[in-house]
Every structure is written in C-alpha cells, then in structure tokens.
Amino acid sequence: MIERETSKGKTPILIAEQKNVIGLILVSDTPKTNADRAIKEIKKLGIDIIMMTGDAKNTAKHIANILDIDEYFAEVSPEDKLKKIQELQSK
C-alpha cells in the first residue's frame, strides 16, 4: 500500500507505539492554483519548463505529470539548486 501511494506523490507518515504500527497518515503536495494554466501559456511562448525541487522523486514525478512538465530534478538541496541553475544557464 505504501509503495502504491508514494507512486502517486504521497508521503507516508507511520504512527507507531511500542514498535507496532498503529496508524498511517498520507500527505501530498498539490500544484498552486492556476499553475497548469501558467505553464501552458509559457510553453506557448516556446519556453522550456524545468522543475527543480527538494521533494522526493515520486512526489516530483507526480507533480510534473500533473503539470505536463517533461524535465524535472528532485531531491535537490538549496545549494545544489544554484549549481544546477548555473549549469543549465551555461547550456
């Protein structure tokens, strides 16, 4: 079940007592309101969209799929984001 839910971009939080799992909470990110419309408009201008996030790979993939973003980078630290932006700009 956990694997299925993480593939949908959800993050599981297990609740345990005395080493026994007694509960599960699933948390998920959702795109900002109108993000999909903004991305479509930017794509119409011929601009490539790249998403970069510190979120887990499954979460990033799920959000990228929802927003029709082909290229994304996940689990990127703030320091590495700057490096990646500089690398992309040099191309």
DSSP sequence for 65-80: HHHT-SEEE-S--HHH
pTM of the model: 0.78
Q: What share of the chain is helix, strand, coil (3-state, %, to 5)?
A: 45, 25, 30
The tally of domains found in the chain comes to 1
Amino acid at 35: A
- Domain of 30: which CATH number? 3.40.50.1000
pLDDT tens for the chain, 91 residues: list them: 888 888 888 889 999 999 999 999 999 888 999 999 999 999 999 999 999 999 889 889 999 999 999 999 999 999 999 999 999 999 8
Q: What residue numbers bound the domain in which 44 lies?
A: 2-90
b/e map of 44-54 (b: 16 or more CB within 10 Å)? eeeeebebbbe
What pLDDT sits at residue 49? 95
